[in-house]
Amino acid sequence: MADKIAFDLVSPEQLLLSAEADMVTIPGSEGDMGVMAGHTAVITVLRPGVVTVAGGKEVQRFFVLGGFAEVTQTKLTVLAEEAIAANDLEAHITAVTESLAKATTDSEKSVRQAKLDMLTKLRAHA
């Protein structure tokens, strides 16, 4: 049996996942990157995209809106600006849409519209 890599997905609010995985795919700034046990140590910037965690029978997916990843031979840590479990994406889009409707300043509207556009684009990759 192949070695597993320890994986932590952390957002500013909470630790979303701490697990052992066969492979984790992350959206690196230069392209998607598969990380398995024994990977060369690296730190990379993340672009908005999908983190896929494969281990055992279950595959888990999370949408990240940016951040950083630190890889060692035995562990991968993703520090996400924001991370959303794939099954929570629609509810998150609804909440952002509602907050956009309630925005009162141009600045608030611009920030919320940009976030909604990014989430909608991520949904297309689901």
Q: Residue 87: phi, psi to the nearest 5? A: -75, -5
Which structural domains are found in the chain, ordered by start?
5-85 (2.60.15.10), 88-124 (no CATH)
Cβ-based burial of 70 (10 A; exposed 0-12, middle 13-18, buried ≥19): middle
**pLDDT of 1:** 43
What kind and span of H or E run contains 25?
strand 23-28
- Give the β-pairing of 42-46 and 31-35: unpaired
**Cα–Cα distance measured from residue 4 to residue 95, given in angstroms and rounded to the nearest whole number:** 36
- pLDDT attached to residue 2: 61
Mind listing the pLDDT tens digit of every residue in the chain (126 residues)?
A: 468 999 999 999 899 999 999 999 999 999 999 999 999 999 999 999 999 999 878 899 999 999 999 999 999 999 999 999 988 888 888 998 898 888 889 998 898 898 888 888 888 876
Phi/psi at 82 (5° precision):
-155, 140
CB 8 within 8 A of CB 78: yes
Helix (H, G, I), strand (E, B) or coil at 74: coil
